[in-house]
Structure 1
């Protein structure tokens, strides 16, 4: 079943695959009412399905091994979103942060997605289809959540053709448009299954598989609807009719969207340390990004100490402040910026979607006049309220009613070349957006206000934040100072995607070339915009 590039992936997957094949010979005997299955029933085939779905949940945002997470997520989306920056000068300062995409780094997100998410979720889906509708729906949702992230990194991906070799022995890609249309089809199928189940108690197998909600169908349905709305807005600039149809379908579903803090989609990783704790505290490889200092610092945002620690660098202009590092700068030695703000401690849960995001999605849908979206202002304020509640903070109303605070200038007192890292008043990269909603504001001001607050609330999920920055241009971020892309990325336009892994060129070359031809510009470079990226 494995896509050929990953046929040598981990022994755990191989054992699971063999177990699945050997157990299914007695399937007809075991195939009783899934909602009345006993624990004894679940000891064989069913336990394998649950384990496969658990593995998929834990690998969308990989928590172990930490080195793989670092190049799956942290040195891509976490940095390109402006949330974080490394103090290390990896590869002599020619790395992702300076737009030199390191071969090997760029293969990890691809490998993890197929070996750790597609492979087990595909098997679980094949096993469940027509027999266990609930786990079949879960397998679909996990694939969409994982592979829209992968597509938002590379563009074209292998999705509908997975496990279907072409005549040349490779596997064909979907264009990003075709992949997104397939995502919507899979979401609709899963939503249609879960909607009549939303008020029922879940099956044993579904509960065992669920690392997020403990087997609650209604919350998985909310997640599915919110994911559908997220992806609808992702394509709104390139395919507005499809976007509106999918978005309004999500808003109209009886299950609703994520609406309370308990609905946050957080994957439990047990007693394992969150990978960001390791990278920040133990390895000291990641620190706060400069845009966080500017935006949250300018807003006197009470979430800032929930996200980061005060700097310990002895420079008097830095010590005790919340100090971020600007992306893509001259870094001669790790010690130069290691004393800037570390990340605050994370509990052993991986955040993939929050209720705050759902409210901000509704707010944007409202300013676009989509049916069922409600009031843009009420949704916007509810998004801020939900984020404050998530972080156990009071006085959200005082924050969202502030009409004067705005992002502040950024100055790096430790820059190698004095002044090269400063963002001053009047810079096109320094936002002037305030917090309080203004219903009379023009559309673009409303959009910037929504997206800036959504960016704050979505922390630390950098992949989604980076995607939304590329889609909208918000929040305003700071361009790199050092651009090592060799001219393939325009500094003023920022990085737009990752290039395909060299392993794909080596094992699936013809399909890769066809995939490249579907890009907005047929060049596999980091400056090529994705299909939905019209900014």
Structure 2
């Protein structure tokens, strides 16, 4: 079920927590500040809090509002069988401000705030922690910018806090990563991160590789709208001696010790999310062995244990209709970047002719192999030379009007095997489709790539309750600004709308979305 809470109650609760941060985190048994400082406890705890809230680990209902009921749907990964709010909700483009405010508040209250207080405490004494925080801040906030567009970044903490345009903030992200990389290269033997590192156990070299990989991701994201700058940034990442994430052992995954994956609760205990129609179409059409890794067989008796998805943006009268479709298999750590994704980034960089990228085909096939290995799936060599299989038609088990049949322009005909005679756009579709499969279940990054490239093809909504604000065929482009911000920071929101360059609706494209 969807846990209920009003935005106003949560705002008060969260504000209360942050206002009393020092008091709450003061040990009542009298441990001195000197003792806390010895093991970096006075600054490291903020790193833990920020890391856990890039993608909210707990409680699961916040994750549901932060990502599952927006990006996970819009990416084509998952679809809710539950007709929340009378089926007029994010899934059907009747955007729910009370839900979507958590995308914003989770980032600012639980990432930006603790990192800002850490910076103040660390000061010039612990530059390695400040640098580490910059990487985490960029990872969290580029995701937020990719939802809203303009965001508060350079003026965070000011009143009123004006918004940076997405172009401005992306370039600040790159500058922050550059500063962090420069500093951390002087601390590669430092062991003080270990106690607070939920990803790499204190390995500074892996954080440097992640920072470079994140820089490459941002460069590719900007490549359509500012190709010269993107090429410079991308080539810096590709040629840096530290390197990029290149093995599954270096994947950016929040460890299971940080908490069970919230999607296990949303899919299992609550039954509020199911495999999408697109996932069924692509994975079954490609005979992809990852289908059985990602999802569980249907429990609906009429489906005879097959793997069955739900199309998003349809009329649903009752949860009972589709809840027996394929749930998500049990997930371990929260995956936010993998070596497979980086290989596909390099493949696209090679298509663009960027120095240091290698060859597109080699990177493409490496990405497939890395993803198969990550999930313990066999047969990668046979899979990647399949030049025949294409995504399968989708047949809705209960309403034929929701089906997507052969010949429908929204159904991809892309094959798997690399084809040197194909056009650059055809090769890009292959790259993005395989990257989309590999990045599951991180719907935020997949939605961003879909908007940037149009791939993989995603089935448009059948119903659209946006009152004309979102084009059904173009699909949703962003989430409108936080309702709380409209009340508490109206001048800031006005600056954000001006920087957006269009109305504050789900139909206005972001800066890099020029597809």
Identify the TM-score tier after normalising by the shorter chain. Answer: over 0.9
Spell out the pairing of 1:266-277 with structure 2 (5 A cutoff): 266-270=253-257, 272-277=259-264
Residue number among 363, 367, 375 corresponding to 2:351 in the alignment: 367
Deviates more, 1:76-85 or 1:270-279: 270-279
Query: 1:394–1:173: structure 2 CA closer, same or farther, 3 Å change rule?
Result: same
* Matching of residue 529 in structure 1 with residue 509 in structure 2: yes
Offset of residue 300 of structure 1: 0.5
Structure 2 equivalent of residue 384 of structure 1: 368
Could you report, residue by residue, the CA deviation over 1:207-242 in whole angstroms, capped at 9, with x for unpaired residues? Answer: 222111111111001100000000111111111111
Pick from 438, 452, 474: which aligns with 1:457?
Answer: 438
Q: Deviations over 1:313-341 (max 9, x none)?
A: 122xx231110000100100000001000
Q: What is the correspondence of 1:160-199 to structure 2 with a 5 Å cutoff?
A: 160-165=154-159, 170-197=160-187
Indicate yes or no: 2:499 matched with 1:518.
yes
**In 1, distance between residues paired with 2:304 and 2:266?**
21
2:315 and 2:207 map into 1 onto residues whose CA distance is: 45
Whether 1:249 and 2:230 are equivalent positions in the alignment is no
Local SS of the residue matching 1:312: coil
Query: What TM-score, normalized by structure 1, do the two folds share?
Result: 0.91
| SS state at 2:425 partner | helix
Deviations along 1:162-201, one digit per CA (max 9) or x if unpaired, are 0122xxxx2111111111111011011111112343xx32
Q: 1:51 aligns with which of 45, 51, 58?
A: 45
In the other structure, the counterpart of 1:328 is 313
2:6 corresponds to: none
Measured against aligned partners, the alpha-carbon deviations of 1:57-89 in whole angstroms (never above 9, x if no partner) come to 100000111111101010011111010000000
CA contact (8 A) 1:75 1:97 kept: yes
Which one of 93, 105, 113 corresponds to residue 107 of structure 2? 113
1:40, distance to aligned residue in structure 2 (A) = 6.6
Q: Which residue of 478, 486, 502 corresponds with 2:459?
A: 478
Deviation at 1:41, TM superposition (A): 4.0
Residue of structure 2 in register with 1:342 after alignment: 327
Which of 227, 232, 242 matches 2:214? 227
Structure 1, residues 78-124: CA drift from partner, whole Å, max 9, x if none?
11101000000001110000011101111001000001000111222
C-alpha distance in 1 between matches for 2:11 and 2:125: 28
1:40 and 1:483 mapped to 2: Cα distance? 54
The answer to whether the 8 Å contact 1:364/1:447 transfers is: yes
The answer to whether the 8 Å contact 1:520/1:529 transfers is no
Structure 1 unpaired stretches of 5+: 31-38
Q: Which of these residues, 189, 210, 229, is aligned with residue 201 of structure 1? A: 189
The residue that corresponds to 1:351 in the other structure is 335
Hey, what does 1:60 align to over in structure 2?
54
| Cα shift readout 1:437-479 (whole Å, capped 9, x = no counterpart) | 1122111011000000000000000000000000000000100
* Matching residue of 1:400: 384
Alignment partner, residue 499 of structure 1: 480
Q: Does 1:97 align with 2:78?
A: no
Q: 1:375 to 1:534 in 2, by over 3 A?
A: same
For the residue of structure 2 that corresponds to 1:117, the secondary structure is helix
Alpha-carbon offset, residue 394 of structure 1: 2.3
Relative to 1, partners in 2 of residues 1:211 and 1:10: Cα closer, same or farther, differing over 3 Å? farther
Q: Which residue of 2 aligns with 1:78?
A: 72
8 Å CA contact retained: 2:57, 2:258: no
SS at the partner of 2:336?
A: strand
2:313 and 2:324 map into 1 onto residues whose CA distance is 18
**What CA distance in whole angstroms lies between the structure 2 residues aligned with 1:338 and 1:272?**
25
Q: Alpha carbons of 1:271 and 1:506: their partners in 2 closer, same or farther (altered >3 Å)?
A: closer
In the alignment, what sits opposite 1:311?
Answer: 298
Q: 2 CA distance for matches of 1:432 and 1:324?
A: 19
Say whether residues 1:138 and 2:119 are aligned partners.
no
Partner-residue secondary structure (3-state), 1:424: coil
Answer yes or no: is the 8 Å Cα contact 1:58–1:269 preserved in 2: no
Structure 2 counterpart SS, 1:352 = strand
Partner of 1:153: 147
Q: Distance in 1 between matches of 2:58 and 2:191?
A: 29
Kept in 1, the 8 Å contact 2:36–2:42? The answer is no
Given candidates 189, 192, 198, the residue that maps to 1:211 is 198
Measure the CA separation in 2 of the matches of 1:201 and 1:271: 24
Task: Describe the SS at the equivalent of 2:301.
Answer: coil
